[in-house]
Structure 1
Amino acid sequence: MKKLLYAIAVSATIITGCGKDDEPTPTKVPVEGEITGDITANRTLAFGNYTLKGMVKIQSGVTLTIEAGSTITADKSNGEDGLVVLNGGKLIANGTSDNPIVLTEKSKVAGSWAGIIMYGDAPIVNSATAPAPQVATSEDGLSLTYGGSNAAHNGGSLKFVRIEYAGQVITTNNKEHNGFSFYSVGSGTVLENLVSYKGNDDGFEFYGGTVSGKNLISYGNSDDSFDWQDGWRGQENTNWFAYQTGIGNYGVEVETKGVNNAFWPKVTNITLKRAAGTVTEAQSEIQLDAFQFKANGNGEFSNVVIDGYINQTTPTAFTGGAVQIRDLVTYDNQVLTGKIKITNVKLNNTPTVFIT
């Protein structure tokens, strides 16, 4: 757990004894640089500090590698900034517990940039009638096509990566970017030890695909901690942690756009915690449950801790709960058929177990 919390805890300094004849370890000097425009050839960003300018796109057939310990800083005064991995491109960003890769924003204000957006061609399902392979258009302002039949799509490897202050408003549709957005990303992609910190929308969102995530932390994001749609079906998800504080909606929001799928994603070991006094974005709506399922959304969750999903402390009192089923079709097609499974649950300060 200490490694999981590397982004929100002060790392202990390990001091080792050295003999007087030992040579001192050379200090690695960080480089300074800028990332802008399209990445059209393989490139490695050596350990250092970089400024991100604009929506930087890693093109198909190209790999961008970021060395451990690097910091990449966006600046909202320049407009819309983000790091985009197009289908066929790869991002290799493998930090370590001692030297994570940090992508942040200069002002340190939530909603200041677009985060990491990755595209693939793994399967999606967003229509009950369209033939496979299905495709859709992204909602991130780029309006790119995603979807396909390549379940093993490989968009690279993200390990020990922290994103801060994402959630910028998209000018074309007035929606917000997430911390991490995965559009039909496949199971060949590695997602491990990732933190989405104090963004203005969801911490992590999966738009279909087959990718799985291990050791994911969503901290202080103002919409949902984890969100998915389009028939996401990751099967090897484990060790997810969400902490909602200040403003936050659902711990987990699940939908499939009304399609009654025969499959569902699986998550083992998930903790959803809501700090006292946390309010929803729109105080006229009840959006403070740990899990919300709608439009035939489903999933299997085991070893679950739910803490603090209770009445909202505003003039309009809302009652939170562990699970909310938003519509009758989801109850009939998913709950009654066993396609929503939540087992081995521990509830703390969450009085309502099930809301319909």
Structure 2
Amino acid sequence: MKLSISLQIALLVFLFPVLIFSQSEMATNDLKWMKNWTNFDPSETYYPEADKKLPNVIDKDTYLNNSSVYLLSGNTYVTNNAKLTIEEGTIIRCDRDNPSSLIVTKGATLIARGSYTKPIVFTSNQTEKSRKPGDWGGISIAGGGSTNTLSGMGRIEGDFNPILSGYGGNTADEITTILSYIRIEYAGKKINRSKELNGLSLYALGKNSIISNIMVSYSADDSYEFFGGNAELSNLISFKAKDDDFDFTEGFQGNLTNIVAIRHPYISDTSGSYAIEIDGYTEGKGVRSISSLSKVSIDGGYLISLSEQDNYQYTVAAISAKYRGQLTLTNSRISGFANIVAFDASYSNATEIKNAFTLENSVFNVHGEAIQTALGNNATLQNLVKYNMYTNHFKEVTDFFSDPMNKHLPDFSLKDNLGNYTVMH
């Protein structure tokens, strides 16, 4: 006898009490935390002209207040264990003609606390409607935490002063940085395959760092990249990045709560771009041990491709897992992609894949197999996601979510009640 979908769900709830799906439980938040401080149309935003220029070296404690607008022109290094503190509501305009980046060197500290009414903004120095991805380099922060490379150390990616570019060490408990309510707009640059500047690059973070309520928009490379370190972060947004939204490598191990990645099928790097890329280690740098592989847990992940019927075929997997990286996703929504996750050949058997990936209490809407592996279409692996809600037929973004294209505050609440979706394959 074939059971109805509603009866299947009722039996699952009875047999597996942990899988009680409800609209409130499917997401630990309703994205109200994005109100007021975010900007989903920064090309139209007017920013006052800069009246002060940042020095290219900050080697003593420095305070930027919001009574001035600052110009970042060329690379600015925070050195000599100095502390750079930025007041809420401060605007930093970043030069495209003299390519600029902010580099916080190992031992120095960036403390940038905005607020939901007065965020701190790093943006292009171009005028409205003329800002473009890659107008400036981005923010790189070097810590003394751990990485899983054989040397335990590294150099910040980019054409930076090698004497000031080191990261990594044994100070895992340090406060590498404190960041909250910050927008980073039009940053990033792909110099070559091994040198990339991201909106926010975090190297060897100490676990007492505080990072929350950050929005990276229109990055010309990754929005966020984590090189080693161990930290807990929350309320992170990536909007229309060219390359990956969230990239983890060199043994980063941490917990992220409430992340949003909003992609478009026509915006991608030639190498392939994903909402999440997790590499267990970096090829060519070696790895200390299996226990030091990158391991990330995400609670409340919105991985969204704004795909429609005429462009969904350009999408790839939402997640790329390589070099045996490990990822857990709970209370999440994954929509608009070809697959949930694609595993590379470093996962040599089904057991390794099962141990490396967990998806729980989530909803997904993809147009291909949920799990893509080098092992072929293994039915056992497709069962990794079978106790999550999914759509029987692929839905374009405007059919799946309430108001996903809203330029003020996208609404990713589901149009249909969860009871209309399927649990079992």
Query: What letter matches 2:300 in structure 1?
Result: N
User: How big is the shift at 1:288?
Assistant: 1.9
Aligned to 2:33: 3
User: How big is the shift at 1:227?
Assistant: 0.3
Counterparts of 1:331 and 1:184, CA distance in 2: 31
Counterparts of 1:323 and 1:299, CA distance in 2: 10
**Structure 1 residue corresponding to 2:331, chosen from 303, 328, 334:** 303
Query: What letter matches 1:150 in structure 2?
Result: T
Query: What letter matches 1:306 in structure 2?
Result: I
Shifted more, 194-203 versus 103-112: the winner is 103-112
Aligned to 2:401: none
Query: What letter matches 1:110 in structure 2?
Result: P
The within-5 A match list for 1:129-278 is 134-142=152-160, 143=162, 144-170=165-191, 175-235=195-255, 237-245=256-264, 246-248=266-268, 249-255=273-279, 256-257=281-282, 259=287, 261-262=290-291, 264-276=295-307
Aligned to 1:317: none
Counterparts of 1:137 and 1:287, CA distance in 2: 33
The sequence identity of aligned pairs, in percent, is: 27
Q: 5+ residue gaps in structure 1?
A: 11-28, 310-319
Aligned to 2:100: 81
- SS in structure 2 at match of 1:112: coil
Counterparts of 2:231 and 2:100, CA distance in 1: 25
Go from structure 1 to structure 2 and tell me whether the alpha carbon gap of 1:298 and 1:158 turns closer, same or farther (over 3 Å shift). Answer: same
User: Is 1:341 aligned with 2:337?
Assistant: no
Counterparts of 2:246 and 2:139, CA distance in 1: 15
Is 2:236–2:260's contact at 8 Å kept on the other side of the alignment? yes
User: Is 1:294 aligned with 2:322?
Assistant: yes
Q: 5+ residue gaps in structure 2?
A: 1-30, 42-47, 374-425
Go from structure 1 to structure 2 and tell me whether the alpha carbon gap of 1:39 and 1:296 turns closer, same or farther (over 3 Å shift). Answer: same
Aligned to 1:104: 123
User: How big is the shift at 1:330?
Assistant: 5.8
User: How big is the shift at 1:262?
Assistant: 2.2
Counterparts of 1:340 and 1:296, CA distance in 2: 10
Counterparts of 2:84 and 2:206, CA distance in 1: 18
User: Is 1:118 aligned with 2:148?
Assistant: no
Query: What letter matches 1:291 in structure 2?
Result: I
Query: What letter matches 2:93 in structure 1?
Result: T
Counterparts of 1:207 and 1:231, CA distance in 2: 7
User: Is 1:353 aligned with 2:381?
Assistant: no
Aligned residues: 315
Query: What letter matches 2:139 in structure 1?
Result: I
Is 1:31–1:46's contact at 8 Å kept on the other side of the alignment? no
Shifted more, 159-168 versus 245-254: the winner is 245-254
Aligned to 2:109: 90
- SS in structure 2 at match of 1:65: strand
- SS in structure 1 at match of 2:121: strand
User: How big is the shift at 1:267?
Assistant: 1.4
**Structure 2 residue corresponding to 1:323, chosen from 314, 318, 341:** 341
- SS in structure 2 at match of 1:262: helix
- SS in structure 1 at match of 2:205: coil
Structure whose CA Rg is larger: 2
Query: What letter matches 1:106 in structure 2?
Result: N
- SS in structure 1 at match of 2:97: helix
Go from structure 1 to structure 2 and tell me whether the alpha carbon gap of 1:88 and 1:334 turns closer, same or farther (over 3 Å shift). Answer: farther
- SS in structure 2 at match of 1:324: strand
Q: Deviations over 1:157-189 (max 9, x none)?
A: 11000000011343x877431000001111121
Query: What letter matches 1:348 in structure 2?
Result: N
Q: Deviations over 1:94-137 (max 9, x none)?
A: 1111110000112311011111100001010024xx6xxx1123
User: How big is the shift at 1:279?
Assistant: 7.7
RMSD: 2.6
Counterparts of 1:188 and 1:111, CA distance in 2: 31
Shifted more, 298-307 versus 340-349: the winner is 340-349
Counterparts of 1:214 and 1:150, CA distance in 2: 22
Aligned to 1:14: none
Counterparts of 2:93 and 2:364, CA distance in 1: 39
Could you state the TM-score of these two structures normalised by the residue count of structure 2? Answer: 0.69
Counterparts of 1:141 and 1:33, CA distance in 2: 25
User: How big is the shift at 1:350?
Assistant: 4.2
Could you state the TM-score of these two structures normalised by the residue count of structure 1? Answer: 0.81
Counterparts of 1:38 and 1:63, CA distance in 2: 12
Go from structure 1 to structure 2 and tell me whether the alpha carbon gap of 1:350 and 1:95 turns closer, same or farther (over 3 Å shift). Answer: farther
Counterparts of 1:137 and 1:330, CA distance in 2: 31
